[in-house]
Amino acid sequence: MWRRGTRVLFRHVARREYSRVCPPPAKSAGTLIRVSNHVARLGPPKEGPKPRQLLSLPPFPGHPLPGKRSHEDGVVSRVTAVSWVKYYFDGIYDSTIQSHFKQGLVQMECPGLIEKEGQMKPMRKIRPSEVMEVGARVYVPVSVAESRVSRRFDCIPSGTLYPNADEIEYLQRRVKYKDSAIIVLNKPPKLPVKGNLPVHNSMDALAAAALSYGNNEGPKLVHRLDRESSGLHLMGRTKESVSLLQWLYTDFNKGKSSCQAWDDACEARYQRYWALVIGSPKEKEGLICAPLSKVLLDNGKTERVILAHQSGLEASQKAITQYRVLGPTIHGCSWIELRPLTSRKHQLRVHCAEALGTPIVGDYKYGWFVHRRWKQMPHVDIEPTSGLPYKLRRPAGLDVQKGSVLSKVPLLHLHCRELVLPNIAKFLLILDQKLDNLHPAVCSKPDILRFVASMPSHMKISWNLMSSYLV
């Protein structure tokens, strides 16, 4: 009986031949048997890999790139795609960027194809050696900027009256650039910039103790960041550099000087911030022109910045901000890039909260009501290319209670990432009328300096969490 049944069974089995070059496509099965913990269940087949979340780089500005030499012996050197991505993500390992190019994950918009309604713009893969054209926009996966998160806290203790040796060493490690005129450092969050009697270990007190580097006086503040924000902070080391930087950061109309290189370097100056906001602006990029005014609350002590009314009865200040959305909305939030064209107190926070209607995550002063609703509502985000909902996968080993987007009380997600400014040490010598013949070593220095700072730990965790949807 067994042999007869076996013979009948082998009669019904057909012989299948597979090709090594092109195997047959897999048949779509309605249900599959899955075994877990010695229990068999019927379930749908596993879903394929979802499209990666893409990050939009700004349009290629052309030649020359700020802070990078592109003219050699009068010949303009061409900028390739891999050079442009490495320039924008300064600080990311070259091997990481090269691997994204090898896997075909770096894409560019196709100008000739028509964009369909409700879908992303048609894109094509690009090679590392492809020459960039002015206005071309490159898209890379968010994973290119993922980084390991340190277990140490970013903010230094502020319970002592005078900074100790550990705090001085910590601040010196935050310095990214130092010359005879300026100091640029990556300010951690929760560190006040300007101290007063109830605030200890502020930036000016720590700088006087840790960043003098042999000078009689410590560096002076040129522009200020909020206590909760982080990023690149600029300080002047001498009286001449401080006065020149203060003139540079004023919003008054500046006349032309006798030095054309100085005028070109001043026009190239800018700052770029990265922020995580609740919601997403209606337009992917635009210009915010909304004047600001200061008011006192009912207690008469607390000052608040609001959008100025059109009546014009109260004093107001002109405030302009450029913004650009970096990627899609994930978990009810989206990453945006901000470029302030004026320097006003709480300008970016008020413009995001009141002008765009998307307050910054962790900004409870200007977006407390939206935070309360945002934490209570469920979020279902749709992937733009496939139309399927995202699925959150928390990376293993991350502590989400360190102020990230998933913690109960997130910290402020506002970071000054990029800073471009003139080479103050060089132009102080050029603008000095007493020095007619400069040393060749001084002339060989670049006219423009560019700095990029990494995000603090809580923003790195949020970045990795947001990009983990599609990994």
Residues with a known catalytic role: 226
Q: Which of 379, 388, 319 is nearest to 349 (CA)?
A: 319
CA angle 92–321–318, rounded 5-degree value: 145
Parallel, antiparallel, or unpaired: how do β-strands 54-56 and 71-72 relate?
A: unpaired
Separation CA 336–CA 45 (nearest Å):
37
Is residue 332 within 8 A of residue 379, CB to CB? The reply is yes
Number of neighbouring beta carbons within 10 Å of residue 134: 9
CA angle 305–309–314, rounded 5-degree value: 70
According to the 3-state scheme, what is the secondary structure of the chain?
Answer: CHHHHHHHHHHCCCCCCCCCCCCCCCCCCCCEEEEECCEEEEECCCCCCCCCCEEECCCCCCCCCCCCCCEECCEECCCEHHHHHHHHCCCCCHHHHHHHHHCCCCEEECCCCCCCCCCCCCEEECCCCCECCCCCCEEEEHHHHCCCCCCCCCCCCCCCCCCCHHHHHHHHHCEEEECCCEEEEEECCCCCCCCCCCCCCCHHHHHHHHCCCCCCCCCEECCCCCCCCEEEEEEECCHHHHHHHHHHCCCCCCCCCCCHHHHHHHHCCEEEEEEEEECCCCCCEEEEECCEEEEECCCCCCEEEEECCCCCCCCCECCEEEEEECCCCECCEEEEEEEECCCCCCHHHHHHHHHCCCCECCCHHHHHHHHHHHHHCCCCCECCCCCCECCCCCCCCCCCCCCCCCCCCCCCCEEEEEEEEECHHHHHHHCCCCCCCCCHHHHCCCCEEEEECCCCHHHHHHHHHHHHHHC
Separation CA 30–CA 44 (nearest Å):
6
CA–chain centroid gap for 54, Å, is 14
Is residue 453 within 8 A of residue 460, CB to CB? The reply is no
Using the structure block, give the residue that is written with the tokens 């068999």. Answer: 40
What amino acid is encoded at 246 in this protein? Q
